[in-house]
Structure 1
Amino acid sequence: MAVREIFAGMPWWVKWIAVPVIAIVVFGGLIASLVAFVVGLLFKILIFVILVGGLVFLVRKFMSSSSGNGW
C-alpha cells in the first residue's frame, strides 16, 4: 500500500496541517539540534575567516611598513 493510496481519501488538512505538526512534535528535538549544529558550524567558519583575514592584513601591513627587511 503506497503513501498516496493512504492519503487519497483524507481531507486536505490532514495532509497539510496534521501530519507536519505530528512530525514536528516527534522529530522537533532532532530538527532543533541539527539546526543548532549547522548555525554553530557556520559561526565558527565565519570567525575563522575573519581571524585569518585579519592576520593576513596585519602581516601585509607590517611587511610593507618595514620596507621588506623582514623581522
Structure 2
Amino acid sequence: MARQGIFAGLPWWVKWVAIPLIVLVVFGGLITTVVGFVIGLLFKALILVALVGGLIFLVRKFTSSSSRGDW
C-alpha cells in the first residue's frame, strides 16, 4: 500500500519509462552477467547431451556389430 502512495502522484512515463531505465542502468551489469551465465550453462548442457548421445550411439553400434562377429 505504501508503494501505491509513493507512485500515486507521478505521471505514467515516470512509472513505466524512467524508473525501469534507472533500474537497468543500476543493475544492467548484474542482469547481463546472470543472463550470460544461464545461456552458457544451457549451451554446455546441450553439448553434454550431444556428446553422451554420440558415445552411446557408437558403443551400441560397435558392440552390436562385434557380437555378430563382423570384426
Q: Tell me the TM-score normalised to structure 2 length.
A: 0.91
The separation in 2 between residues aligned to 1:18 and 1:2, in whole angstroms, is 20
Gaps of 5+ in 2: none
Task: Name segments (4+ residues, structure 1) moved above 2 Å.
Answer: none
- Alpha-carbon distance in 2 for matches of 1:60, 1:16: 57
Identity of aligned residues (%): 70
Aligned residues: 69
TM-score normalised to structure 1 length: 0.91
Q: 1:10-21 to 2 correspondence within 5 Å? A: 10-21=10-21
Trace 1:1-71 onto structure 2 (pairs within 5 A). Answer: 2-67=2-67
Question: Please, which runs of 5 or more residues in structure 1 have no aligned partner?
Answer: none
Give 1 or 2: higher helix fraction: 2
